[in-house]
Structure 1
Amino acid sequence: MDHTPPWAGRPGRTHLSSYNRSYDDELFAALDLGTNNCRLMVAAQTAGGFRVVDSYSRMVKLGEGLHHTGMLGEPAMERTLDALRACADRVGRRQLRDIRAVATEACRRAGNGSKFLERVRAETGFNINIISGREEACLAVESCANLIHNPRFGVPRNRALLFDIGGGSTEIAWVRVDPFRQTQELIGYLSLPIGVITLSEQFGPKSSYDLGCYAEMVAHTKQALHDFENVHRIGPEIRRKQTRFIGTSGTVTTLASLVLGLPRYVRAAVDGSQLPSVSARRAVRMLHELGPEGVEAHPCIGPDRSTFVLPGCAIFEAIHDMWPIEDIIVADRGLRDGMVLRMIRKATPAPRRYQRPPVLGPIPFQQSIQATGS
């Protein structure tokens, strides 16, 4: 069995700097290498969960061209290695209690995904594990646990439907909720090989602005959801108003920022907000009206993300067409948050039974804005 740690140290460099920490500090690092982005979080354990000490995110488009070739391209791998070197430098400045590094759909699907990660280990020191779609869904649920149980969103529900729209895949998690015990259990998941990069490449980068082609994107995605609905019968639970709907992705956070009318993206305003579906649909129409240049110029989007916004909206609309819940709880969090919470739980003595899940320290949920729009 391979016992190589998630970060063995940047080759040729001292592993730890002169960073001083108090005895009580407990630092954890989580690295998420996705199809579109490379993200690192370093967090300190707190009494209520954790606070972010350092955070890094770069769009690397590792999965660029993967839909057509089945392989990771050399320019994409070089971009990604450059970002991972920056992550290694940041990790090297900290003394960590634990670290976890994972890769998702691009490396799962690419014929050279495992070979690339061997190269990553040799050049950066990161030992990155490819996780399954189920594990990805579980981590997303873990990161959103306190939203699932938060009484701010109304009476308790016994089900939650969570979606995470990524670059190369979309994860759907169907969750059983016990409001009394404040626990949640994954009872079904779907990992669709449809993400913002793959959909954009399949239909063409500019095609999402054509309403006819956009409708095809929605229909294509929706068709892939039918079997999951037939197995789990989510629709009846929705009609009985027993389901909370949680979106954790750049797509849904962008829609929330548009509805809120933010002059620039503010995570504290978006994460934990409640987005009425009618307002979200209206924001999608607004993006169509803005056109490519308007979307690129929008301060909450920018040129790097503009190509992928409407493909993400098509995935969102397909999900909402299938499961038309009135309000979406917006989560600007993901795998890194879930990994940090797991590491903290592993490092901490078992809590008392029925203890509420920890609250993420830096986010003032009680004061988050209701995304009602106009």
Structure 2
Amino acid sequence: MKPKILVLIDIGTYSTRMLIIAVHNDGSFNEIFSVGRITALGRKLKETGYLQKEAMEETLAVLREYVLIAKEYHPDKIVAVATQACREAKNAQEFLEKVKQLGIDVRVITGEEEASLSFLATSKALNIQDKFVVIDQGGGSTEFSYGEKDKLIKAISFPFGIVNLTERFIKSDPPTKQELESLQEFLKPQIETAYKEMKDANQLVGLGGTITTVVALEKNLYPYDSKKVHGSTLTYDSVKKWFEKLSSMTLAQRKSIPMIEDKRAESIISGIAIFKVAMEIFQKDTIRISEWGVRHGLLLSYLQQL
């Protein structure tokens, strides 16, 4: 029998990603196609309470393209989820209806579900045997999930991510010392609430485009190579170094670095701040990096139901 073709789509606040997987009869699977685009669906959401028309159109254009790609593989099932921007926006239903018109049946998941999917993916991808915390930093929310082996013990979803943090704290180009301090002072008490629940974790794992970009910067990887990023380790010193280095640059200077996508250059400082502050509060000198995230969690939860 030929394998089932499964399409997994994650409509995030900052990026929209698709994964196409062949699932074999014995439960094994292999990746056929993977793509991610920065669509910044959640831009100006905190300020206005609404998804912006331009942001919705950009995201829908990417999803239209994804549907065309997916159809070439004759998928048996398309599984799509939306996260913080669609949890929060007053006009999310309008956007979701337009997504459904493309033939994508999308479900808005809770922050806790998002954390659980990231944890499931990470425990499988890295096969960690002791207690660990996954930090899944997104555009509109950041999830901290804690567990041992493949057992999730606690998950917390914070309603902050690189889009809303950048809009709230970074007003200057380059950012001022005061702006960077205010950003970190805001993050500390929030992340401390996660630490109180998760303090006996042996290691931290980072997910998301910010931390994988830092790996690319540290290893001087261009073009990007996911095989060299997945499972790698960053030290606190290197995270701090890139935070200081990039925050001293103008936006134009950050955009000129080949490892940093144009749109990511606008918000990468806020993203690195989350990991920097988390490593300080959890008192960890290193963080491991996973390429697997929500889409892979969706795949694994699908396989569990077979």
Q: Which residue of 2 aligns with 1:320?
A: 279
Residue of 320, 333, 338 corresponding to 2:297: 338
Q: Which residue of 2 aligns with 1:42?
A: 20
Does the alignment pair 1:130 with 2:89?
Answer: no
**TM-score (ref. length: structure 2):** 0.93
Q: Which residue of 2 aligns with 1:142?
A: 120
Does the alignment pair 1:200 with 2:166?
Answer: yes
Residue 204 (structure 1) shift? 3.6
Q: Which residue of 2 aligns with 1:69?
A: 48
How many residues are aligned here? 305
Residue 130 (structure 1) shift? 0.3
Residue of 329, 333, 347 corresponding to 2:288: 329
Q: Which runs of 5+ in 1 are unaligned?
A: 1-22, 151-155, 178-183, 348-374
- Counting only pairs closer than 5 Å after superposition, residues 20-169 of structure 1 correspond to structure 2 as 23-45=1-23, 49-122=28-101, 124-150=102-128, 156-157=129-130, 159-169=131-141
Q: Which residue of 2 aligns with 1:210?
A: 176
- Counting only pairs closer than 5 Å after superposition, residues 157-196 of structure 1 correspond to structure 2 as 157=130, 159-177=131-149, 184-196=150-162
* CA–CA separation in structure 2 for the residues paired with 1:54 and 1:316: 29
Residue of 245, 255, 261 corresponding to 1:286: 245
- The share of aligned pairs that are identical, in percent, is 28
* CA–CA separation in structure 1 for the residues paired with 2:27 and 2:174: 43
Q: Aligned with 1:253: secondary structure?
A: helix
CA, structure 1 residues 214+316, in 2 after alignment: closer, same or farther (shift >3 Å)? Answer: same
Q: Aligned with 1:56: secondary structure?
A: strand
CA, structure 1 residues 208+332, in 2 after alignment: closer, same or farther (shift >3 Å)? Answer: farther
Q: Which residue of 1 aligns with 2:193?
A: 227
* CA–CA separation in structure 2 for the residues paired with 1:273 and 1:228: 24
> Per residue, is there more helix in 1 or in 2?
2
* CA–CA separation in structure 1 for the residues paired with 2:225 and 2:276: 24
Q: Aligned with 1:305: secondary structure?
A: helix
CA, structure 1 residues 319+105, in 2 after alignment: closer, same or farther (shift >3 Å)? Answer: same
* CA–CA separation in structure 1 for the residues paired with 2:234 and 2:28: 25
Residue of 236, 243, 249 corresponding to 1:277: 236
Please give the per-residue CA displacement for 1:90-123, whole angstroms capped at 9, x wherever unaligned. 222222233211000000000111232012212x
Q: Is the 8 A contact 1:41 1:54 kept in 2?
A: yes
Q: Aligned with 1:225: secondary structure?
A: helix
Q: Is the 8 A contact 2:8 2:298 kept in 1?
A: yes
Higher Rg: 1
**TM-score (ref. length: structure 1):** 0.77
Q: Which runs of 5+ in 2 are unaligned?
A: none
What RMSD over aligned residues (CA atoms) do the two structures have, in Å?
A: 1.9
Q: Aligned with 1:224: secondary structure?
A: helix
* CA–CA separation in structure 1 for the residues paired with 2:178 and 2:223: 31
Q: Aligned with 1:167: secondary structure?
A: coil
* CA–CA separation in structure 1 for the residues paired with 2:66 and 2:223: 26
